């Protein structure tokens, strides 16, 4: 469970990107729906401890996140919107390097984690291919494989379906929905169907404020 209380963030240019946001996010897939510029990325970066809020609190399974950033980061898988790949490296090689960085220093353990993630994301057949030759959907699936290294308990995925065709989008969302019990998975999107199709719970955010939250149909009807 991720618990956010009265979170505020105003950038130096005066934009109030997060306006008194309070949210209770249970385990499972949670959709953060809102148009471009709503403040989704800002909120996610703050939860991921990449930027400090001006005020408010964040607790993750009881952990005071803002006072224990390193501890949060060890449980975090984060896929930013604009993540880059190294085009001349294979998925398997890069994932193995990231596994080392994640602290999977024992060879057997690392190999098992990498192989399992390549299977889970349906990239096993393409594991030896360079990432530069991957389609948009394959890249996003690689991104989620990377984010899932080390079995994170909090997974944050920023606008992953933008630019994916319908098949790839479904494949990607189904993958997110399957990540596991006892894991909070936050998906941001501006596509309504992304949340109505697969997220048991959601919040609608506009101009930094939560306008509605709950089960998708109930939340959307309440607008």
* Residues making contact with ligand ADP (CB under 6 A): 11, 13, 15, 17, 34, 36-42, 81, 158
Cβ 212 to ligand ADP, closest distance in Å?
16
In Å, how far are 50, 69, 186 from 66, measured between CA atoms? 10, 6, 18
d(CA 16, CA 150): 34
The SS3 assignment for 181 reads coil
d(CA 223, CA 211): 7
Q: Which is nearer to ligand ADP, 14 or 62 (CB)?
A: 14
Cβ 186 to ligand ADP, closest distance in Å?
12
- Write out the two tokens for 44: 């996610």
Q: Which is nearer to ligand ADP, 81 or 135 (CB)?
A: 81
Q: Which is nearer to ligand ADP, 81 or 217 (CB)?
A: 81
Q: What is the DSSP letter of 223?
A: -
Cβ 121 to ligand ADP, closest distance in Å?
22
Residue 33 bridge partners (DSSP): 189, 204
Q: Which is nearer to ligand ADP, 63 or 212 (CB)?
A: 212
Cβ 207 to ligand ADP, closest distance in Å?
8
């Amino acid at each position: 469970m991720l618990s956010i209380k009265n979170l505020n963030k105003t950038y130096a240019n005066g934009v109030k990107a997060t306006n008194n946001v309070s949210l209770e996010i249970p385990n499972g897939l949670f959709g953060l729906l809102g148009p471009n510029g709503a403040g989704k990325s800002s909120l996610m970066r703050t939860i991921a401890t990449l930027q400090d809020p001006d005020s408010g609190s964040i607790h993750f399974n009881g952990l005071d996140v803002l006072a224990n950033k390193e501890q949060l980061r060890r449980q975090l898988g984060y896929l930013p919107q604009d993540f880059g790949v190294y085009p001349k490296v294979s998925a398997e090689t890069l994932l193995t390097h990231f596994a080392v960085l994640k602290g999977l220093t024992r060879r057997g353990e690392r190999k098992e984690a990498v192989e399992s993630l390549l299977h889970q994301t349906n990239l096993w057949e393409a594991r030896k291919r360079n990432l530069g030759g991957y389609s948009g959907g394959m890249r996003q699936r690689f991104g989620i494989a990377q984010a899932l290294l080390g079995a994170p308990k909090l997974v944050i995925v920023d606008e992953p379906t933008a630019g994916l065709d319908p098949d790839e989008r479904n494949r990607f969302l189904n993958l997110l929905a399957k990540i596991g019990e006892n894991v909070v998975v936050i998906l941001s999107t501006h596509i309504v169907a992304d949340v109505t199709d697969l997220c048991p719970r959601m919040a609608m955010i506009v101009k930094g404020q939560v306008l509605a939250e709950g089960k998708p149909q109930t939340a959307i009807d309440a607008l």
